C-alpha cells in the first residue's frame, strides 16, 4: 500500500475515532473502545475482501500471487468490500447487534468523510470538468474540475453530524439510525458518482442497493420495535 493511501486511511480512522469519542461523552456510543476496535477491524476485513474480489475479477489467483493482495492501489471492489465489513460487524456485535450497528452509524459516515478528504494527500480530488468558481485544476492544466471527493467528504460529514444529533435528541427506534446511515451513504455516492472521471454502472448498482436496503430496513425497524424507555 502506498503512503498516500495510508494517509487517506489514517484520516478515515481519525475521523471515526473522534466521532466515537465525541458521541461517548454525550451518551450516544457506549463501549467506545469496543466500537472503535470493531470498526477498524471491519475496515481491514472490507479492504481484504474487496481486494480479493478485484484480483479474481482481473483473472489473478490470490493463492498463486499472495503478495498482490497488499497492492491495494491495484483495485478494491466496493460492493464485496462493504459486504465484508458489514459481515464482520454483524459477527462481532452478534450479542448486541442493533446497539453496535447504531453506535457505529454516525462514526462510519464520519470515517468515510475522512477517507474522501484524504484525497488531498493523494492528489485525487478532482472529477469532471467544471467552470464553477470553486473548481480547480492540476498544476500545468488549463482545465478546471469539480472537487468531487471534497463534495462527498462534506456531505458525509454533514450526514454523520445529523445522525449523531438525531440519536441524541430524537430517540429513534433500535436499528433505524444504522439503516438511515446506510441509505445516506448510498445516496451521497449516487449523487457524486456522475461527477467522477469514469462513471461505473456496476458501482452505481451497489450504491442503489444500499439505498433500497437502508430505506427498507429503516421502515421495518421503525414499525417492528418500540421506543425504549430511558
Q: Cell digits for 174? A: 433500535
pLDDT of residue 199: 61
What is the value of pTM for the model shown? 0.86
The domain locations on the chain are 3-224
| 195 has a pLDDT exceeding 80 | yes
pLDDT of residue 227: 53
In 3D, which of 195, 216, 206, 202 has the Cα closest to residue 151?
195
Confidence of residue 182 (pLDDT cuts 50, 70, 90): very high
Kindly write down the DSSP assignment for every residue of 120-164, as one continuous string. Answer: HHHT----SB--STT-B--TT----B--HHHHHHHHHHHHHHHHH
Mean pLDDT (the chain) is 86
Q: Find the length of the chain.
A: 230
Q: Cell digits for 23? A: 458521541
| 32 has a pLDDT exceeding 50 | no
Confidence of residue 110 (pLDDT cuts 50, 70, 90): very high
pLDDT of residue 229: 46
Per-residue pLDDT tens for 58-82? 899 888 888 888 777 667 787 888 8
| 30 has a pLDDT exceeding 80 | no
Average pLDDT over residues 181-203: 87
5-14, 87-96, 97-106, 161-170: the lowest-pLDDT one = 5-14
- pLDDT > 90 in the chain, percent: 47
Burial track 12-38 (b if 16+ CB lie within 10 A, e otherwise) = bbebbbebbebbbeeebbebbebbbeb
The number of beta carbons lying within 10 Å of the beta carbon of residue 227 is: 11
| 144 has a pLDDT exceeding 70 | yes
d(CA 111, CA 202): 24
| 39 has a pLDDT exceeding 50 | yes
Q: Cell digits for 181? A: 446511515
pLDDT of residue 2: 52
Kindly write down the DSSP assignment for every residue of 73-90, as one continuous string. Answer: GG---HHHHHHHHHHHHH
pLDDT of residue 204: 86
Amino acid at each position: 500500500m502506498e503512503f498516500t493511501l495510508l494517509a487517506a486511511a489514517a484520516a478515515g480512522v481519525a475521523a471515526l475515532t473522534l466521532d466515537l469519542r465525541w458521541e461517548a461523552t454525550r451518551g450516544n456510543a457506549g463501549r467506545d473502545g469496543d466500537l472503535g476496535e470493531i470498526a477498524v477491524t471491519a475496515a481491514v476485513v472490507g479492504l481484504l475482501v474487496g481486494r480479493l474480489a478485484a484480483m479474481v475479477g482481473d483473472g489473478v489467483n490470490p493463492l498463486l500471487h499472495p503478495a498482490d493482495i497488499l497492492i491495494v492501489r491495484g483495485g478494491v471492489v466496493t460492493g464485496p468490500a462493504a459486504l465484508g465489513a458489514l459481515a464482520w460487524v454483524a459477527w462481532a456485535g452478534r450479542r448486541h447487534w442493533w446497539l453496535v450497528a447504531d453506535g457505529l452509524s454516525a462514526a462510519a459516515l464520519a470515517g468515510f468523510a475522512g477517507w474522501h478528504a484524504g484525497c488531498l494527500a493523494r492528489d485525487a480530488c478532482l472529477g469532471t470538468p467544471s467552470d464553477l468558481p470553486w473548481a480547480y485544476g492540476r498544476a500545468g492544466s488549463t482545465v478546471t474540475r469539480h472537487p468531487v471527493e471534497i463534495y462527498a467528504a462534506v456531505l458525509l460529514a454533514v450526514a454523520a453530524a445529523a445522525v449523531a444529533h438525531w440519536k441524541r435528541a430524537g430517540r429513534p427506534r433500535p436499528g433505524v439510525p444504522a439503516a438511515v446511515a446506510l441509505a445516506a451513504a448510498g445516496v451521497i455516492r449516487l449523487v457524486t458518482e456522475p461527477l467522477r472521471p469514469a462513471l461505473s454502472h456496476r458501482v452505481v448498482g451497489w450504491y442503489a442497493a444500499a439505498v433500497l436496503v437502508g430505506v427498507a430496513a429503516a421502515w421495518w425497524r421503525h414499525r417492528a420495535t418500540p421506543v425504549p424507555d430511558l
